[in-house]
Structures are given as C-alpha cells and as structure tokens.
Amino acid sequence: MTDWSPFTARAKDWFESLRDAICAEFEAIEREAGSEAAFAYTPWQRTGVGAESGDAAGDLGGGVQGLMKGKVFEKVGVNVSTVHGSFSPEFARSINGADPENPRFTATGISLVAHMANPHVPAVHMNTRFLTTTKAWFGGGADLNPPLPYAEDTAEFHAAMRAACDAHGADYYEKYKAWADDYFYIPHRKVHRGVGGIFYDHLECGDDAAWEANFAFTQDVGRAFLAIFPKLVRRRMGMDFTPDDKRQQLEWRGRYAEFNLVYDRGTLFGLKTGGNIDAILMSLPPEANWA
C-alpha cells in the first residue's frame, strides 16, 4: 500500500503557497481602492469530534482560516486545512474509497469564497483538495457567481478554465464544465447558482505518475484562478450601482446560501468530520435577503 504522506505534504505546501499569492493579490486590490484592509489569520486544531466522526479526541490536524472584510471585498475567506482521522462506518459508505472496515482518511485543501461590495463584481468560489482513504484522489474547481452577469466576464473566466483543462486532457473542459453545471444547481429553485466554471472529483492516483499528473492539473486550476479573477474584479469594482442592483445582489446571495447549506459536499464533509465551524461556514454571505 502506497504511503501517501509525502504526497499529502507536497499538496499542503502548494495549497498554502497558492493561498499566500491569492491573499497578497486581493490585498493589493484593496490598496488600489484606498483601503488598508488585510487578511486576519486564525489557526485552529481539529481536536474534537463530529457527529459522524469515528475519532476519539486528540490531535487530528487543523488549518488556518483567513478572512478579510474591505472596501472591495465585502467578505472573503481563504482557508487551508490538513486533517486526518477516521470516518464513522455509516459516513464512510458515502466517501470514495472509504471502507467501513478501514475508515482512515487524510484531507488537505484550499477553499475560497469571495462576496463583493459592488454588485457588478462577481462573487466567486474556488476549492482544490487532495484526499486519501483506501484510494487517493484530487478534486476541486472554480465557478463564477455574478449577481449582474456580464457575457464578457463569463467568457473570459471560462476561457481561463478551458486553458487549464486543455493542457492536461482534450476532454477535460467539456467534462468538468458539464459537471459544474450539474453540481452547482439548486433543485428546489430550478436555477443554477451562477454562470458555472469547472468541477472535478475522484481524480484518482493509482501510482506516482498519476499523482504527478493530477497534481499538475490541480496546480494549473489554481494558477488560472489567480490570473483571471483579479482581472474581473479590477474591471468592475469602480462601477456605479443602484439600489435595485444592490437588492438583486442580496436576493442572489440568499440563493447562494441555500445551496451551500443544503447541497454543498464540502460543507457536509466539514460538519460530519468535526471541522472548524467558522471556517466551514465562511462561505455564507455577510448579508442576504429573501424576497
């Protein structure tokens, strides 16, 4: 059986370096807007247990929650965590490769959600992760969530994701775009959460070569996000907006909250495994309306 711990350490290092680059760029945008806002970083340890965790109390890993509230970024969270332990037998049945008889797991990843002050600036989500059970795999993606969509922004965001995909698989973009369209959908509203992006999961690593290939793809997704999203923010952050624009943004945020609380796998995973509640729920908007 492969010892995945060195690979987990490499993935963790990458996620932390990506966080640092993203947060520096977001703080630079705040400076351009005349704001001194900066990220506050809060370390946390997973020493308790979740309702579906098979763990006894102890050192089970942890992470760092990064949070900034500024002039451009009304609320943005960038979290990195690396946790390990055991699933409960029941929850293990829902996780790729998790055997109820061998429910051990490790998980490391970065998770980002940005809610913007100006309704013309799209909100965004990005998450990439590496997990091991009896198998090892990567997952993640990025999707754009504009309250006031612009075709230009949507096209450029998708072009960036396509470029990251095309470098690794001729069918990656179409496959992972379709997966995002299916996943980021609110069935009870019969609407998509935003204008999509890419979503992939269970990109399995059967050997070292597969791990390296999947890791390279995951890195390129992160680089593509870092290249395109700040560009969109700078394009829209100085635009004037009306009370109706703000109303539409707040109502749209309600839809975003509904998806994350009812359907999102990451929220469920964090809650079921005893993660940090504030970090798990950092995706929720600072203010929302339901008409």
Catalytic residues: 125
Contact between 110 and 80 (Cβ < 8 Å): yes
CA atoms within 13 A on the CB side of 223: 12
Helix (H, G, I), strand (E, B) or coil at 137: strand
> Which own/partner contact pairs does 173-181 have at CB distance under 8 Å and 24+ positions apart?
173/198, 175/200, 176/141, 176/200, 179/141, 180/141, 180/143
Q: Which residue reads 């995002």 in tokens?
A: 180
Q: What are phi and psi of 170, to 5 degrees?
A: -65, -25
4: region left, alpha or beta (phi > 0 left; psi from -120 to 50 alpha) = alpha
